[in-house]
């Protein structure tokens, strides 16, 4: 998602916008979380920080630790926790909505 051309164009515009602000003006930031490749992205950030700021890498690892229980179990396999309906079943199928007329 972050590699799409709309985001690249927006970030270019944002960098230009911030560059034209007075030095004392607050800058606009762009923050997000890559849910499509969460662990790959986290590892890339930590690896980059290891080379430029090891203390920041340590802080990033600590902050990313809250995602440890979301580590993928195996490639391509999605687990449905006990008590949750299987994907594809609708609220009507599960009896949460009245039958269609």
- Average pLDDT taken over every residue of the chain: 79
* Averaged pLDDT, 9-36: 91
By residue count, the chain amounts to: 101
Q: Say if residue 27 is in the same domain as residue 44.
A: no
pTM listed for this prediction: 0.49
Domain that holds residue 67: 33-71
pLDDT-derived band at 100, boundaries 50, 70, 90: low
Give φ, ψ of 23 to 5 degrees.
-55, -35
* Residue 82 lies inside a defined structural domain of this protein: no
56-76 average pLDDT score: 80
- Compute the average pLDDT of residues 1-30: 88
Higher pLDDT, 74 or 40: 40
Measured CA to CA, the distance from residue 64 to residue 56 in angstroms comes to 12
Same-domain check for residues 64 and 49: yes
pLDDT of the residue at 26: 96
Looking at the structure of the chain, the number of domains it has is: 2
Give residue for tokens 């230009």. 16
- Maximum mean pLDDT: which of 24-33, 53-62, 84-93: 53-62
């Amino acid at each position: 998602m972050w590699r799409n051309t709309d985001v690249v164009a927006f970030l270019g515009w944002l960098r230009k916008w911030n560059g034209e602000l007075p030095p004392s003006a607050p800058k606009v930031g762009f923050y997000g979380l890559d849910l499509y490749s969460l662990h790959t992205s986290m590892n890339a950030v930590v690896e980059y920080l290891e080379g430029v700021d090891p203390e920041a890498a340590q802080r990033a690892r600590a902050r990313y630790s809250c995602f440890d229980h979301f580590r993928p179990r195996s490639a391509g396999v999605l687990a449905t926790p006990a008590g949750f309906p299987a994907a594809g079943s609708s609220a009507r199928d599960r009896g949460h909505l009245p039958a269609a007329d």
